[in-house]
Structure 1
Amino acid sequence: MTTPAPFPVPTAGAVLHGELHRHRGVRRGAVLLRTPYDAVAHRSVAGSLAQRGWDCLVQDVRGRHGSTGSWTPYAHEAADGAATVAAATAAGLAGPWVLFGASYAAHTALETARVLDSDDVAAVVALVPALGLHETAHDDRGRPQHRDRLGWWSIHGLARTDHPPLPAQVLRTATHVAATDGPLAAVRWLGWDEDELQRWRRLWSARPLDLRHRYGALGVPLLVVTGDDDPFDGHARRLAAAWGRCRGPRATLLSGPWGHDLTPRVEVSGAGTGGPGSRILDWMAGLGPGPGVERRLDPDRREWADHRIDTGGAA
């Protein structure tokens, strides 16, 4: 694997740290992956994409790891993503772009696509997307996800670098306090300071996203990857149903027996581990199912099958 080149992007109020992995072999295009989970930790993914012909720019989001500025989750990703594409284009990195990411990084990809001219974007790949503040705090039926959010925010949501995970007993107790006395009581019990409390309050006061309004007019092809055991599965399906709805089907769904870490529960004869990785790469290369189709790995039959995406639940 070759050493990536530093790629800083000055933008309003921050300098965004990035690493550029140059393609090898025949060039397919450019991939942008913006993450709060440390650009350095994504070198394996970026290297794999580079080996398949993609120039891959991996960037720390504002206020995280190598990027300066203030870390406010779900606040700056549309503007910072657009600024990054503009800076990369000005530096001679040709598009159109594939906007790629998992979990929070999927949010950054979706938001960048929302504000860019469609000619600048070839496709979006959103793996187990964490769509927004409300959508991460509640499941698709509106039920609060106290344990999941206490775990994520205590590690990733409060500072430039990660905090250690809460001990299991502490997390259990905090979850119980949240369920009985409310989420604010839980973080007061944990001893969060006033700034951390304000961030937490913003999370729990956020309104649901109107996915049809936000993404319904986009014509860019979208691949949504979701799993049966992912807490965001319902929201991911609603995203796929809503995306480009004003234009007709624009999203493809890839699903199977895995959770948020995309680790499969089954192996599939003749299909490796049964994970989605090779199918994602196929889709990026123009292979695989088209828009309006869900390609699903059946955990009982241990084989892939295609179905039409249900658009009735789009919100």
Structure 2
Amino acid sequence: MAPFTTSVSGLATDVQLPDGQGPFPAVLIRTPYGRQSHRAELHGWARRGFAVLAQDVRGRHASPGEWRPYESEAADGAETAHWIRRQTWSDGRLVACGASYAAHCALALALEAAEDARPDAVIAAVPALGAADTAREPSGAERLLNRAGWWAAHGDRPDSDETALAKALAADPDLLSRLPLVKFPERLGRELPSWRGLWRRRERGRLASLAATARMPLLAVGGHHDHFAEDTVELWRNWGGPSTRLLMGPWGHGLVAAPGPDAHPEHRVGLGELYARWAWAALEGRLREGRAGALALGGSPLWVGSDVMGDAYVPRLRLLRGGVFTANPERPVGSVDLAVPADGEPDRCVLVTRPLPRLLDVFGPAAVRLRATADTPSADWVARLVALSPEGRAERIGLGVVRRAEPPGSEAEFTIPLGRLALRLVAGTRLRIEIAGHHFPAHARNPHTGEDPITATRLLASRREVHPTGLELRLTVLRTRPTPVNPALEIPR
């Protein structure tokens, strides 16, 4: 049947029904990125027996109202869910589905709406859990580049311009360096009233904590190279529903459309078919209880189960330079260039391992433990883990940012989490750890004065000292090759 457009609680909604007699289970996709971009997806769901709806959220594209990111999605989603269940073509069963912000819409409906509006199953891919979750690291460090790009493209406007930040940076390469950052909209040349409010939000983890109250199945999908990878895993771990599945591949935020450098052809999963098979199994009660999943091992065609356990591995590190260095926000360590200066005053501490004597499958959490000193009252500590292949290629495989506030000059011992890794390192690979004070422009520069980095107008250099004898890189590795799994079979069972 051809799709048709209707208004649901005033919001523009495209509906496509399967061929044949109903009623049908329904799939709901609520998005700020334009419902018309989901036409192929609507056709795919309908072909597999689902009534499917794509809706422009309030204030975006064809939906009227004021666009307030992360504020009204539970209420608007609930009204749409009630409308769906009143239709003659609906059998009452509902799957909330979405990626990125649309995943937030699906989760808000599942976790914050009234009980009678909640879906029967949820598919959340690369989920943007909330404003603070997307804007800050768990330590509070600001994710500047990602949020500047998103707000420039989508914030406080009914339509989108994905190239807005790139065009602005081409005209003014110092756009993100100019202080204070709270005035970014003025330099961008656009009204962005919600930009200032974004940085006032610090309530990270709200949806992840509510996940424990969930009573329906979840399929969480993410990429090891996605900036929301940790949130995807946390959501899966916290989910209280009867059955929870996790699918993680060597992908970026665009999933299979954005493969990482360590992706293999075997990692190109047909997500549409997999989503539909999982949804039918969830609605019909055929999923096994408990947590399970399939995770790809980057640099290898291997997929393994989420229950695979690893052992701790602590490689020996050798200090190359920068046991004492200066973190100068006027000349911050960049987040793009992996080259390390070999001369001049050190701007970071650099350590390296010997070539790995054997192949290692790194699978699980990684972290750096260190003892260090800063001579400023506030300091960000950035740890970047880089794999140097035997052929000389450099690839960032782990990153962590911790914000510390100690009396100037006092020694502190702390851990910098590097995320959950899932990749194969061949024999001869060396690992390089960089400890720096900045990671710009991916993260806002800590001004070292104790001021908020978003409103600060003054920058101060910070002298750092890292004690190499107290520095430890801890990885999790697989002792033996695990039994491989097929995600197309593992996820829907």
Normalising by structure 2, report the TM-score. Answer: 0.55
Q: Write out aligned runs for 1:280-295 (5 A).
A: 280-286=275-281, 291-295=290-294
Task: Return the alpha-carbon distance in structure 2 between the equivalents of residues 309 and 211 of structure 1.
Answer: 27
Match of 2:190 among 178, 192, 195: 192
Question: C-alpha displacement at 1:214, in angstroms?
Answer: 2.1
Secondary structure at 1:18 match in 2:
strand
- Does the CA contact (< 8 Å) of 1:293 and 1:309 recur in 2? no
Distance in 1 between the 2:34 and 2:208 partners?
Answer: 31
Q: 2 CA distance for matches of 1:305 and 1:25?
A: 39
Q: Specify the SS of the correspondent of 1:68.
A: coil
Where does residue 148 of structure 1 map in the other structure? Answer: 146
* Mapped pair 1:251 → 2:244: yes
**For residue 283 of structure 1, what is the amino acid of its counterpart?**
W
State the distance in 1 between where 2:305 and 2:289 align: 10
Q: How far apart in 2 are the matches of 1:167 and 1:129?
A: 22
Contact 1:146-1:179 at 8 Å conserved across structures = no
Answer whether contact 1:279 1:288 (CA < 8 A) is retained.
no
Distance 1:227 1:174, change over 3 A: farther
Residues 125 and 224, structure 1, Cα contact 8 Å, conserved in 2? yes
1-side partners of 2:46 and 2:239: how far apart? 28
* 1:1-315 aligned within 5 A: 2-10=1-9, 15-24=10-19, 29-92=25-88, 93-114=90-111, 115-117=113-115, 121-163=119-161, 165-166=163-164, 168=166, 170-171=168-169, 178=176, 181-193=179-191, 196=192, 198-207=193-202, 208-211=204-207, 213-244=209-240, 250-262=243-255, 263=257, 264-265=259-260, 266-269=263-266, 273-274=268-269, 276-286=271-281, 291-308=290-307
In structure 1, give the amino acid aligned to 2:189. G
How far has the Cα of 1:279 moved from its partner? 3.0
Q: 1:275 to 1:137 in 2, by over 3 A?
A: farther
Letter in 1 for 2:52: C
Partners of 2:78 and 2:117 within 8 A in 1:
no
The structure with more helix, counted as a fraction of residues: 1
Q: Distance in 2 between matches of 1:201 and 1:7?
A: 35
Residue 95 of structure 1 and its aligned partner are, at CA, apart by: 2.1
What is the letter of the counterpart of residue 188 of structure 1?
Answer: E
Matched position secondary structure for 1:34 = strand
SS at match of 2:213: coil
Preserved CA contact (<8 Å) 1:224 1:252: yes
In the TM superposition, residue 297 of structure 1 has moved relative to its aligned partner by 1.9
Separation in 2, partners of 1:133, 1:83 = 23
Give the conservation status (yes or no) of the 8 Å contact 1:283–1:289: no
Helix, strand or coil at the partner of 1:181 = coil
Q: Deviation per CA, 1:50-99, whole angstroms, max 9, x where unpaired?
A: 10001001111001111111111111100000000112222333321000
1:289–1:295 contact (8 Å) kept in structure 2: no
Q: Partner of 2:83: helix, strand, or coil?
A: helix
Partners of 2:54 and 2:43 in 1: CA distance: 11
* Cα distance change on mapping 1:98 and 1:116 into 2, 3 Å: farther
Does structure 2 conserve the Cα–Cα contact (< 8 Å) formed by 1:293 and 1:307? Answer: yes
CA displacement at 1:139 relative to structure 2: 3.4
Specify whether residues 91 and 119 from structure 1 end up closer, same or farther in structure 2 by C-alpha distance, changes over 3 A only.
closer
Query: Aligned AA for 2:62?
Result: G
Distance 1:241 1:142, change over 3 A: farther
Separation of aligned partners in 2, 1:293 and 1:240:
9
- Tell me, yes or no, if the aligned pair for 2:294 and 2:304 is still in contact at 8 Å: yes
Structure-2 separation of matches of 1:201 and 1:212: 24
Q: Indicate the SS of the match to 1:59.
A: strand
Report sequence identity in percent: 33
- For residue 274 of structure 1, report the CA deviation from its aligned partner: 3.7
Q: Is the 8 A contact 1:64 1:71 kept in 2?
A: yes
Give the unaligned 5+ runs of structure 1: none
Contact 1:31 1:100 in 2 (8 A): yes
Q: Note the residue ranges of structure 2 that are not aligned, 5 or more in a row.
A: 310-364, 366-416, 418-493
The 8 Å contact of residues 229 and 260 in structure 1, kept in 2 or not, is answered as: yes
Tell me how far 1:177 sits from its aligned partner: 5.3
1:235 offset after TM fit, Å?
Answer: 1.3
Once residues 97 and 300 of structure 2 are traced to their aligned partners in structure 1, the CA distance between those partners, rounded to angstroms, is: 30
Distance, in Å, in 1 between the alignment partners of 2:44 and 2:218 is: 21
Q: Distance in 2 between matches of 1:304 and 1:243?
A: 23
Question: 1:11-59: per-residue Cα shift (whole Å, max 9, x none)?
Answer: xxxx111011102368761101111111111010111011000100111
Measure, in 1, the Cα distance between the counterparts of 2:101 and 2:141: 20
Measured on the aligned residues, the alpha-carbon RMSD in Å equals 2.9
Q: Output the CA distance in 1 between the equivalents of 2:4 and 2:216.
A: 29
- The alpha-carbon distance between structure 1 residues 182 and 251, as it changes in their structure 2 partners (threshold 3 A), is farther
Compare 131-140 and 220-229 and name the one that shifted more: 131-140
Who wins on radius of gyration, i.e. which is larger? 2
- C-alpha distance in structure 2 between counterparts of 1:252 and 1:4, whole Å: 31
